[in-house]
Amino acid sequence: MALRHTAEASIVSERADGVTADMADATPSKAVATTGSRRGRRTATMSSGGGGSGGPRSRRSPLSAVVLSAVAIAFAATVDWRHAATECGRWLTTAAELFSSATDQKCAVTLPDFLEDVLRPPIDCTYCKGMDSVEKIFNLSAENFEKNYAYTGRPVVAVDVSGPSTTTFGFRLFKNLSDSGLMTPCQFFPYKTEFRTLSEALGMDERRAAMEPGQPPWYVGWSNCEPKTINRLKRHVSLPNFLPALSDSKRTLWIFMGTPGHGAPMHIDKVGYPSWQTQISGHKKWTLRTPVECFFKCKRQFEVFMEPGSTIVLDTNIWYHETQTIGQNISITVGGEYD
Ligand SMILES: O=C(O)CCC(=O)C(=O)O
């Protein structure tokens, strides 16, 4: 979305300073994209000049019109239209790829928060109306999930009383995979830490990783999108069984982990789909906020406390959210998107 707004803003400024019109005059292939604005500006100039005051247009003879038309036709014949069309196609493909990679990634395009707020399209508040807490459901079935939550924008927590079925999904596994080149993230969020890469984070002093007293706190997150990595991770953890059967939910796995008191700051995402996240170990508090346009239609803030084995499902494109590890232990979660 930010990309679209940026593009629109630059078109507006080009129109305002007149550069586009001049460039389009000199570059026939660009004229296709900017015809609307050029034509609008020319018409305005011509009507003021030709409105009876004897400007250049009112003195033009039919002969000059014929000559001008002939020159225009000759000029058009010299343009390599096939080449121009290929170039146009190439630019459109690149723009489409950029846009789709931006929407595939969490926060691929980062703007200052106030700009994000001003530029995003308004959100329809139907999804939060009448909601006064985030429901927690024991053994959520696929049917219940699909009917009431999957596509309604209403968050839900699925509680699995048996807890997570893993004891191996943790720092040691991630470090081993990273050391053997099997964990190269697509995106890495260092949050407030000094780490520049995931391997730097996983290479932290063992005492720090174990939260020994006096060691600095840390919280990081990253996405795994290589099938080989995802398959290795899936040997150690089972994904929620209530997600829509046909959903492409296994393309990217996100891991967030860190020490008590730390987490992700309040933000809203621009990702393709709603997200799920399972708490594997430790405890985490989520704070959800409705967007400002829903402040008078919905409750503004919700808190959700996550325990091992619970899965939160949240459309992070319409809910502002913030997380914080609570309790005494490191919080580790795995998550993804579903369509
Ligand atoms: O789990 C976290 O700490 C952050 C999650 C998040 O911000 C997200 O999924 O967009």
CA of 142 to the centre of ligand 1 (A): 23
Please tell me the predicted confidence (pLDDT) of residue 256: 98
Same domain, 128 and 162: yes
Question: With bands split at pLDDT 50, 70 and 90, how would you rate the model's confidence at 17?
Answer: very low
CA of 81 to the centre of ligand 1 (A): 49
Last residue of a domain, one of 104, 139, 161: 104
pLDDT(41) > 70: no
Ligand 1 and 264: CB distance under 6 A: yes
CA of 189 to the centre of ligand 1 (A): 10
Please tell me the predicted confidence (pLDDT) of residue 171: 97
Question: With bands split at pLDDT 50, 70 and 90, how would you rate the model's confidence at 278?
Answer: very high
Ligand 1 and 276: CB distance under 6 A: no
Question: With bands split at pLDDT 50, 70 and 90, how would you rate the model's confidence at 135?
Answer: very high
Question: Rounded mean pLDDT of 4-20?
Answer: 27
Containing H/E element for 64? helix 62-78
Please tell me the predicted confidence (pLDDT) of residue 245: 77
pLDDT(186) > 60: yes
Q: Which atom of ligand 1 is nearest to the CA of 258?
A: 3
Question: Rounded mean pLDDT of 237-265?
Answer: 89
pTM of full prediction above 0.75:
no
Bridge partners (DSSP) of residue 275 are: 314, 337
Ligand 1 and 105: CB distance under 6 A: no
Ligand 1 and 106: CB distance under 6 A: yes
Same domain, 267 and 302: yes
Span 297-319, pLDDT tens digits: 999 999 999 999 999 999 999 99
Residue 112 placed within a domain: no
Percentage of residues in the chain having pLDDT higher than 70? 65
Report DSSP state, residue 264: P
Residue 235 placed within a domain: yes
Ligand 1 and 263: CB distance under 6 A: yes
The least confident of 92-96, 118-122, 153-157 is: 92-96
CA of 91 to the centre of ligand 1 (A): 34
Residue 6 placed within a domain: yes
Residue 111 placed within a domain: no
pLDDT(104) > 50: no
Same domain, 203 and 66: no
Same domain, 22 and 130: no
Ligand 1 and 279: CB distance under 6 A: no
| Alpha carbons 287 and 270: distance in angstroms, whole number | 18
Q: How is the beta sheet containing 301-306 ordered, strand by strand? A: 301-306, 283-289, 320-326
Ligand 1 and 338: CB distance under 6 A: no
Which ranges of 203-337 does DSSP label H, i.e. alpha helix?
206-209, 227-234
Same domain, 242 and 171: yes
Strands 219-224 and 135-138: unpaired
Ligand 1 and 333: CB distance under 6 A: yes
Question: 187, 220 in Cβ contact below 8 A?
Answer: no
Taking the CA of residue 3 as centre, how many other CA atoms within 13 Å lie in the half-sphere pointing to its CB?
Answer: 13
CA of 6 to the centre of ligand 1 (A): 26
Q: Which atom of ligand 1 is nearest to the CA of 107?
A: 10
Please tell me the predicted confidence (pLDDT) of residue 30: 26
Please tell me the predicted confidence (pLDDT) of residue 132: 96
Residue 16 placed within a domain: yes
Q: What residue owns the CA closest to ligand 1's atom 8?
A: 316
Residue 113 placed within a domain: no
Residue 151 falls in which region: left (phi positive, over 0), alpha (psi -120 to 50) or beta: alpha
Same domain, 135 and 55: no
Same domain, 216 and 255: yes
13: containing domain? 2-104
What CATH number did the domain enclosing 234 receive? 2.60.120.650
Look at the chain and report how many structural domains it folds into.
Answer: 2
CA of 324 to the centre of ligand 1 (A): 10
Q: Which atom of ligand 1 is nearest to the CA of 316?
A: 10
